[in-house]
Amino acid sequence: MKVRILKAEKIEFPKLMYNERNNTLILATGFWDETKHNYKGVCLKSKHPEKIGKSEGYWNAVAFKIFEGQVLIENN
């Protein structure tokens, strides 16, 4: 038996998504595939510096919520 869990909310991409546990902020550009288990997008901020700038399909949709704050982008 296969079970698919789909996100109930409809998200219009691109969207800033936040994972509080890992202090990770991504710019999600869509779902990785039709299962909607993972977002595709790029990591903008994380407590794991090696993830910043990565654009892989491992951004687990269940772990992220829509970011409701403000982001300041600086060129250092």
Give 29's DSSP letter: E
Domain ranges of the chain: 15-66
Q: What is the pLDDT of residue 10?
A: 77
Give the number of residues written for the chain. Answer: 76
Among 14, 9, 36, which residue's Cα sits nearest to residue 27?
Answer: 14
pLDDT in tens, 6-50: 555 678 899 999 999 989 999 999 998 888 889 999 999 999 889
Give pTM, 2 decimals.
Answer: 0.77
Amino acid identity for residue 51 in this structure: K
Amino acid identity for residue 50 in this structure: E
Amino acid identity for residue 27 in this structure: L
Q: What is the pLDDT of residue 1?
A: 63
Q: What is the pLDDT of residue 9?
A: 63
